[in-house]
Amino acid sequence: MSSYPKTSALMARGSEFLGSEHAIMCGAMSWVSERNLVSAISNAGGFGVIACGAMTPELLDSEIAETKKLTGKPFGVNLITMHPDLFDLIDVCARHEVGHVVLAGGLPPKGSVDAIKQKGAKLIAFAPMLALGKKLLRSGADALVIEGMEAGGHIGPVSTSVLAQEILPELAAENLVFVAGGIGRGDMIAGYLEMGAAGVQLGTRFACATESIAHPDFKKAFFRASARDAVASVQVDARLPVIPVRALKNKGTEEFTAKQREVAAVLDREEIAMAEAQLQIEHYWAGALRRAVIDGDVENGSLMAGQSVGMVKAEEPVADIIAGLMQESEAALTLRNRV
Ligand SMILES: Cc1cc2nc3c(=O)[nH]c(=O)nc-3n(C[C@H](O)[C@H](O)[C@H](O)COP(=O)(O)O)c2cc1C
Protein backbone atom coordinates (compact mmCIF):
# COMPACT_ATOMS: atom_id res chain seq x y z
CA MET A 1 0.00 0.00 0.00
CA SER A 2 1.44 3.35 -1.04
CA SER A 3 1.99 6.07 1.53
CA TYR A 4 0.58 8.46 -1.06
CA PRO A 5 -2.49 6.57 -2.35
CA LYS A 6 -4.17 9.42 -4.26
CA THR A 7 -0.98 10.65 -5.93
CA SER A 8 0.22 7.13 -6.70
CA ALA A 9 -3.14 6.26 -8.26
CA LEU A 10 -2.93 9.27 -10.58
CA MET A 11 0.73 8.44 -11.33
CA ALA A 12 0.06 4.73 -11.96
CA ARG A 13 0.36 4.83 -15.76
CA GLY A 14 3.52 6.93 -15.63
CA SER A 15 5.14 4.81 -12.91
CA GLU A 16 4.40 1.62 -14.80
CA PHE A 17 5.87 3.08 -17.99
CA LEU A 18 9.04 4.27 -16.24
CA GLY A 19 9.35 1.26 -13.96
CA SER A 20 9.78 3.58 -10.97
CA GLU A 21 7.82 3.91 -7.74
CA HIS A 22 6.80 7.51 -8.48
CA ALA A 23 6.26 9.13 -11.87
CA ILE A 24 8.73 11.91 -11.05
CA MET A 25 11.52 12.27 -13.58
CA CYS A 26 14.61 14.31 -12.91
CA GLY A 27 15.20 15.96 -16.29
CA ALA A 28 18.68 15.55 -17.69
CA MET A 29 20.95 18.47 -16.77
CA SER A 30 24.30 18.60 -18.55
CA TRP A 31 27.22 18.16 -16.12
CA VAL A 32 24.77 17.77 -13.20
CA SER A 33 22.89 14.63 -14.21
CA GLU A 34 25.73 12.16 -13.95
CA ARG A 35 26.05 8.85 -12.12
CA ASN A 36 25.67 10.24 -8.57
CA LEU A 37 22.50 12.29 -9.01
CA VAL A 38 20.92 9.87 -11.49
CA SER A 39 21.37 6.83 -9.26
CA ALA A 40 20.22 8.78 -6.18
CA ILE A 41 17.01 9.80 -7.96
CA SER A 42 16.25 6.26 -9.12
CA ASN A 43 17.15 4.76 -5.73
CA ALA A 44 14.74 7.22 -4.06
CA GLY A 45 11.83 6.03 -6.21
CA GLY A 46 12.04 8.68 -8.94
CA PHE A 47 13.43 8.27 -12.44
CA GLY A 48 16.93 9.59 -13.12
CA VAL A 49 18.12 10.51 -16.59
CA ILE A 50 21.79 10.76 -17.61
CA ALA A 51 22.56 13.94 -19.58
CA CYS A 52 24.68 12.82 -22.50
CA GLY A 53 25.08 16.38 -23.80
CA ALA A 54 28.27 16.55 -25.84
CA MET A 55 29.74 13.30 -24.42
CA THR A 56 31.51 10.94 -26.80
CA PRO A 57 30.12 7.39 -27.15
CA GLU A 58 33.05 6.14 -25.01
CA LEU A 59 32.25 8.56 -22.20
CA LEU A 60 28.55 7.69 -22.30
CA ASP A 61 29.47 4.02 -22.21
CA SER A 62 31.42 4.41 -18.97
CA GLU A 63 28.85 6.78 -17.42
CA ILE A 64 26.07 4.23 -17.94
CA ALA A 65 28.28 1.42 -16.58
CA GLU A 66 29.16 3.47 -13.48
CA THR A 67 25.52 4.45 -12.91
CA LYS A 68 24.51 0.79 -13.05
CA LYS A 69 27.00 0.06 -10.27
CA LEU A 70 25.17 2.58 -8.06
CA THR A 71 21.57 1.55 -8.77
CA GLY A 72 19.68 -1.53 -9.83
CA LYS A 73 16.62 0.64 -10.58
CA PRO A 74 15.68 1.84 -14.07
CA PHE A 75 17.09 5.12 -15.38
CA GLY A 76 17.10 6.81 -18.78
CA VAL A 77 19.58 8.53 -21.07
CA ASN A 78 18.98 11.92 -22.69
CA LEU A 79 20.48 12.33 -26.16
CA ILE A 80 20.60 15.58 -28.11
CA THR A 81 19.28 15.12 -31.66
CA MET A 82 22.02 17.21 -33.29
CA HIS A 83 24.89 15.25 -31.72
CA PRO A 84 27.15 14.19 -34.63
CA ASP A 85 27.45 10.64 -33.22
CA LEU A 86 23.77 10.21 -32.37
CA PHE A 87 23.52 6.74 -33.89
CA ASP A 88 26.64 5.51 -32.07
CA LEU A 89 25.19 6.85 -28.82
CA ILE A 90 21.96 4.97 -29.53
CA ASP A 91 24.07 1.81 -29.97
CA VAL A 92 25.79 2.41 -26.63
CA CYS A 93 22.37 2.69 -24.93
CA ALA A 94 21.26 -0.53 -26.64
CA ARG A 95 24.37 -2.43 -25.56
CA HIS A 96 23.61 -1.47 -21.97
CA GLU A 97 19.91 -2.26 -22.46
CA VAL A 98 18.91 1.22 -21.30
CA GLY A 99 15.13 1.05 -21.05
CA HIS A 100 14.28 4.67 -21.89
CA VAL A 101 15.92 7.12 -24.28
CA VAL A 102 14.89 10.78 -24.10
CA LEU A 103 15.48 12.72 -27.30
CA ALA A 104 15.94 16.46 -26.84
CA GLY A 105 16.89 19.40 -29.04
CA GLY A 106 14.46 19.23 -31.94
CA LEU A 107 12.72 16.72 -34.15
CA PRO A 108 14.39 13.28 -34.26
CA PRO A 109 16.50 12.85 -37.39
CA LYS A 110 15.50 10.24 -39.95
CA GLY A 111 16.02 6.69 -38.76
CA SER A 112 16.73 7.60 -35.12
CA VAL A 113 13.29 6.64 -33.77
CA ASP A 114 13.48 3.21 -35.42
CA ALA A 115 17.07 2.73 -34.25
CA ILE A 116 16.07 3.42 -30.63
CA LYS A 117 12.96 1.28 -30.71
CA GLN A 118 14.50 -1.59 -32.67
CA LYS A 119 16.85 -2.15 -29.79
CA GLY A 120 13.88 -2.37 -27.41
CA ALA A 121 14.12 0.99 -25.63
CA LYS A 122 11.13 3.24 -25.04
CA LEU A 123 11.35 6.68 -26.59
CA ILE A 124 10.41 9.86 -24.74
CA ALA A 125 10.32 13.04 -26.84
CA PHE A 126 9.78 16.74 -26.14
CA ALA A 127 6.62 18.21 -27.65
CA PRO A 128 6.86 22.00 -27.98
CA MET A 129 3.30 22.30 -29.35
CA LEU A 130 0.21 20.15 -29.91
CA ALA A 131 0.74 19.50 -33.63
CA LEU A 132 4.32 18.35 -33.08
CA GLY A 133 3.22 16.21 -30.14
CA LYS A 134 0.77 14.39 -32.40
CA LYS A 135 3.45 14.01 -35.07
CA LEU A 136 5.97 12.59 -32.58
CA LEU A 137 3.43 10.06 -31.34
CA ARG A 138 2.61 9.03 -34.92
CA SER A 139 6.35 8.64 -35.58
CA GLY A 140 6.68 6.22 -32.67
CA ALA A 141 7.36 8.21 -29.49
CA ASP A 142 6.08 6.21 -26.50
CA ALA A 143 5.68 9.25 -24.25
CA LEU A 144 5.91 13.03 -24.47
CA VAL A 145 7.35 15.70 -22.21
CA ILE A 146 5.78 19.13 -22.51
CA GLU A 147 8.07 21.78 -21.08
CA GLY A 148 7.16 25.40 -20.53
CA MET A 149 9.36 28.47 -20.56
CA GLU A 150 9.59 28.63 -16.77
CA ALA A 151 12.13 25.79 -17.00
CA GLY A 152 15.88 26.03 -16.63
CA GLY A 153 18.14 25.52 -19.66
CA HIS A 154 17.02 25.82 -23.29
CA ILE A 155 13.40 26.91 -23.47
CA GLY A 156 10.54 27.49 -25.87
CA PRO A 157 8.30 30.55 -25.89
CA VAL A 158 5.15 29.19 -24.18
CA SER A 159 4.45 28.79 -20.45
CA THR A 160 3.84 25.39 -18.86
CA SER A 161 0.31 26.32 -17.79
CA VAL A 162 -0.72 27.17 -21.36
CA LEU A 163 0.98 24.11 -22.90
CA ALA A 164 -0.74 21.93 -20.31
CA GLN A 165 -4.15 23.36 -21.20
CA GLU A 166 -3.52 23.00 -24.92
CA ILE A 167 -2.01 19.53 -24.91
CA LEU A 168 -3.29 17.52 -21.93
CA PRO A 169 -7.02 17.59 -22.83
CA GLU A 170 -6.19 16.49 -26.37
CA LEU A 171 -3.57 13.81 -25.77
CA ALA A 172 -3.30 12.74 -22.15
CA ALA A 173 -6.19 10.27 -22.00
CA GLU A 174 -4.76 8.06 -24.72
CA ASN A 175 -1.06 8.85 -24.37
CA LEU A 176 1.58 9.32 -21.71
CA VAL A 177 2.35 13.00 -21.21
CA PHE A 178 4.80 14.27 -18.58
CA VAL A 179 4.73 17.96 -17.61
CA ALA A 180 7.90 19.97 -16.95
CA GLY A 181 8.87 23.56 -16.29
CA GLY A 182 8.39 25.62 -13.16
CA ILE A 183 7.31 22.79 -10.86
CA GLY A 184 8.59 23.55 -7.37
CA ARG A 185 6.03 21.94 -5.06
CA GLY A 186 3.82 18.89 -4.90
CA ASP A 187 0.63 20.98 -5.05
CA MET A 188 1.52 21.79 -8.64
CA ILE A 189 2.20 18.13 -9.38
CA ALA A 190 -1.27 17.28 -8.07
CA GLY A 191 -2.77 19.89 -10.42
CA TYR A 192 -1.11 18.50 -13.55
CA LEU A 193 -1.95 14.92 -12.56
CA GLU A 194 -5.60 15.89 -12.17
CA MET A 195 -5.46 17.38 -15.67
CA GLY A 196 -4.38 13.99 -16.99
CA ALA A 197 -0.57 14.11 -16.90
CA ALA A 198 1.03 10.69 -16.42
CA GLY A 199 3.78 12.27 -14.35
CA VAL A 200 6.13 15.22 -14.09
CA GLN A 201 9.73 16.19 -14.80
CA LEU A 202 11.74 18.55 -12.60
CA GLY A 203 15.27 19.84 -12.97
CA THR A 204 15.88 22.96 -10.92
CA ARG A 205 14.57 21.46 -7.65
CA PHE A 206 17.09 18.59 -7.94
CA ALA A 207 20.16 20.47 -9.22
CA CYS A 208 21.42 21.30 -5.72
CA ALA A 209 20.53 18.06 -3.95
CA THR A 210 23.12 16.69 -1.55
CA GLU A 211 24.00 14.01 -4.10
CA SER A 212 24.52 16.55 -6.91
CA ILE A 213 28.19 17.07 -7.76
CA ALA A 214 27.56 20.72 -8.64
CA HIS A 215 30.18 23.06 -7.13
CA PRO A 216 29.27 24.54 -3.70
CA ASP A 217 29.33 28.06 -5.20
CA PHE A 218 26.88 26.98 -7.94
CA LYS A 219 24.58 25.67 -5.20
CA LYS A 220 24.97 28.86 -3.13
CA ALA A 221 23.93 30.96 -6.13
CA PHE A 222 20.75 28.86 -6.38
CA PHE A 223 19.96 29.22 -2.65
CA ARG A 224 20.31 33.00 -2.86
CA ALA A 225 18.26 33.45 -6.04
CA SER A 226 14.58 34.26 -6.41
CA ALA A 227 12.30 33.49 -9.35
CA ARG A 228 12.99 36.83 -11.03
CA ASP A 229 16.73 36.19 -11.15
CA ALA A 230 16.23 33.25 -13.56
CA VAL A 231 15.95 35.14 -16.83
CA ALA A 232 15.78 34.05 -20.46
CA SER A 233 18.66 35.14 -22.70
CA VAL A 234 17.67 37.84 -25.18
CA GLN A 235 18.38 37.99 -28.89
CA VAL A 236 19.67 41.40 -29.89
CA ASP A 237 19.85 41.16 -33.68
CA ALA A 238 17.52 39.29 -36.05
CA ARG A 239 20.51 38.16 -38.12
CA LEU A 240 22.09 36.44 -35.15
CA PRO A 241 19.65 33.82 -33.84
CA VAL A 242 19.82 32.93 -30.16
CA ILE A 243 18.01 29.90 -28.75
CA PRO A 244 16.78 31.26 -25.41
CA VAL A 245 18.34 29.77 -22.30
CA ARG A 246 16.98 30.45 -18.82
CA ALA A 247 19.77 31.04 -16.33
CA LEU A 248 20.54 33.19 -13.30
CA LYS A 249 21.61 36.73 -14.17
CA ASN A 250 25.34 37.28 -13.80
CA LYS A 251 28.29 38.99 -15.48
CA GLY A 252 28.25 36.34 -18.22
CA THR A 253 24.63 36.99 -19.20
CA GLU A 254 25.32 40.74 -19.44
CA GLU A 255 28.44 40.18 -21.49
CA PHE A 256 26.53 37.90 -23.84
CA THR A 257 24.26 40.81 -24.74
CA ALA A 258 27.31 43.02 -25.29
CA LYS A 259 28.94 40.31 -27.41
CA GLN A 260 25.88 40.14 -29.68
CA ARG A 261 25.98 43.93 -30.19
CA GLU A 262 29.70 43.76 -30.94
CA VAL A 263 29.30 40.96 -33.53
CA ALA A 264 26.32 42.79 -35.11
CA ALA A 265 28.48 45.92 -35.48
CA VAL A 266 31.26 43.93 -37.14
CA LEU A 267 28.63 42.45 -39.43
CA ASP A 268 27.34 45.97 -40.30
CA ARG A 269 30.85 46.97 -41.29
CA GLU A 270 30.99 43.84 -43.47
CA GLU A 271 34.19 42.72 -41.80
CA ILE A 272 32.90 39.20 -41.17
CA ALA A 273 30.78 36.65 -43.05
CA MET A 274 27.27 35.88 -41.75
CA ALA A 275 28.06 32.21 -41.02
CA GLU A 276 31.15 33.14 -39.02
CA ALA A 277 29.19 35.76 -37.06
CA GLN A 278 26.44 33.26 -36.23
CA LEU A 279 29.03 30.71 -35.14
CA GLN A 280 30.64 33.20 -32.77
CA ILE A 281 27.27 33.71 -31.07
CA GLU A 282 26.51 29.99 -30.97
CA HIS A 283 29.89 29.16 -29.45
CA TYR A 284 29.82 31.90 -26.85
CA TRP A 285 28.18 29.66 -24.26
CA ALA A 286 30.04 26.48 -25.16
CA GLY A 287 31.66 25.25 -21.98
CA ALA A 288 29.93 27.92 -19.89
CA LEU A 289 27.67 25.49 -18.04
CA ARG A 290 30.67 23.34 -17.18
CA ARG A 291 32.50 26.42 -15.88
CA ALA A 292 29.66 27.15 -13.48
CA VAL A 293 28.68 23.61 -12.42
CA ILE A 294 32.12 22.03 -12.13
CA ASP A 295 34.57 24.92 -11.65
CA GLY A 296 32.18 27.07 -9.62
CA ASP A 297 32.72 30.16 -11.77
CA VAL A 298 29.40 31.78 -10.96
CA GLU A 299 30.36 35.13 -12.51
CA ASN A 300 31.24 34.07 -16.04
CA GLY A 301 29.73 30.60 -16.27
CA SER A 302 26.14 29.74 -17.15
CA LEU A 303 23.96 29.24 -14.09
CA MET A 304 21.10 27.51 -15.89
CA ALA A 305 18.09 27.57 -13.60
CA GLY A 306 14.32 27.63 -13.85
CA GLN A 307 11.97 30.07 -12.15
CA SER A 308 11.34 27.53 -9.39
CA VAL A 309 14.87 28.36 -8.17
CA GLY A 310 13.28 30.60 -5.51
CA MET A 311 11.93 27.42 -3.90
CA VAL A 312 15.42 25.90 -3.62
CA LYS A 313 16.62 27.09 -0.23
CA ALA A 314 19.15 24.54 1.01
CA GLU A 315 20.95 21.35 0.13
CA GLU A 316 18.65 18.39 0.73
CA PRO A 317 19.02 14.68 0.02
CA VAL A 318 17.12 13.57 -3.09
CA ALA A 319 14.99 11.19 -1.00
CA ASP A 320 13.77 14.12 1.14
CA ILE A 321 12.96 16.24 -1.91
CA ILE A 322 10.94 13.44 -3.48
CA ALA A 323 9.17 12.58 -0.21
CA GLY A 324 8.34 16.28 0.27
CA LEU A 325 6.88 16.57 -3.23
CA MET A 326 4.78 13.43 -2.78
CA GLN A 327 3.51 14.61 0.64
CA GLU A 328 2.56 18.01 -0.74
CA SER A 329 0.77 16.44 -3.68
CA GLU A 330 -1.11 14.03 -1.42
CA ALA A 331 -2.12 16.84 0.96
CA ALA A 332 -3.36 18.95 -1.97
CA LEU A 333 -5.43 16.09 -3.40
CA THR A 334 -6.87 15.28 0.03
CA LEU A 335 -7.88 18.89 0.57
CA ARG A 336 -9.52 19.16 -2.84
CA ASN A 337 -11.47 15.93 -2.31
CA ARG A 338 -12.97 17.42 0.84
CA VAL A 339 -14.40 20.47 -0.91
C1 LIG B 1 21.38 23.26 -15.07
C2 LIG B 1 20.42 22.69 -16.09
C3 LIG B 1 20.91 21.99 -17.20
C4 LIG B 1 20.03 21.41 -18.12
N5 LIG B 1 20.53 20.69 -19.16
C6 LIG B 1 19.68 20.03 -19.99
C7 LIG B 1 20.18 19.15 -21.00
O8 LIG B 1 21.40 18.97 -21.14
N9 LIG B 1 19.30 18.51 -21.80
C10 LIG B 1 17.94 18.67 -21.65
O11 LIG B 1 17.16 18.07 -22.40
N12 LIG B 1 17.42 19.50 -20.69
C13 LIG B 1 18.26 20.15 -19.87
N14 LIG B 1 17.75 20.93 -18.85
C15 LIG B 1 16.28 20.93 -18.62
C16 LIG B 1 15.87 19.86 -17.58
O17 LIG B 1 16.09 18.57 -18.08
C18 LIG B 1 14.39 19.93 -17.16
O19 LIG B 1 13.56 19.60 -18.25
C20 LIG B 1 14.00 21.29 -16.63
O21 LIG B 1 14.94 21.71 -15.69
C22 LIG B 1 12.61 21.22 -16.01
O23 LIG B 1 12.18 22.47 -15.61
P24 LIG B 1 12.51 23.13 -14.16
O25 LIG B 1 13.92 23.58 -14.25
O26 LIG B 1 11.55 24.24 -14.07
O27 LIG B 1 12.28 22.06 -13.12
C28 LIG B 1 18.61 21.55 -17.94
C29 LIG B 1 18.13 22.28 -16.84
C30 LIG B 1 19.00 22.84 -15.91
C31 LIG B 1 18.44 23.58 -14.72
| Predicted confidence (pLDDT) per residue in 163-183, tens digit | 999 999 999 999 999 999 999
Dist. CA 27 → ligand 1 center (Å): 6
What is the rounded CA–CA span in Å between residue 168 and residue 337?
21
Which ligand 1 atom lies nearest to the CA of residue 204?
A: 25
Q: Probe ligand 1: pick from 30, 205, 206, 212, max atoms within 8 Å of CB? A: 30
The answer for residues whose C-beta is within 8 angstroms of residue 222's C-beta and 6 or more apart is 204, 207, 208, 248, 303, 305, 309, 312
The partner residues of 51 in beta bridges, in order of sequence, read 78
Dist. CA 259 → ligand 1 center (Å): 25
For residue 51, give the 3-state DSSP assignment: strand
Dist. CA 53 → ligand 1 center (Å): 11
- From the list 158, 178, 159, 153, the residue with the least C-alpha distance to 168 is 178
Dist. CA 202 → ligand 1 center (Å): 8
The domains of the chain, with CATH numbers, are: 5-213+314-338 (3.20.20.70), 226-304 (no CATH)
What is the rounded CA–CA span in Å between residue 64 and residue 73?
12
How far apart are the two ends of the chain, measured CA to CA in Å? 25
Q: Name the helix (H) or strand (E) containing 15.
A: helix 5-18
Dist. CA 336 → ligand 1 center (Å): 30
| Predicted confidence (pLDDT) per residue in 300-334, tens digit | 999 999 999 999 999 999 999 999 999 999 999 99
Q: What is the CB neighbour count within 10 angstroms for residue 224?
A: 13
Residues with CB under 6 A from ligand 1: 27-30, 32, 51, 53, 78, 104, 147, 150-153, 180-183, 201-205, 207, 304-306, 308
What is the rounded CA–CA span in Å between residue 167 and residue 77?
25
Length of the chain: 339
Looking at the predicted structure, is the pLDDT value of residue 279 above 90? no
Q: Are 236 and 255 in contact (CB under 8 A)?
A: no
**Whole-prediction pTM:** 0.96
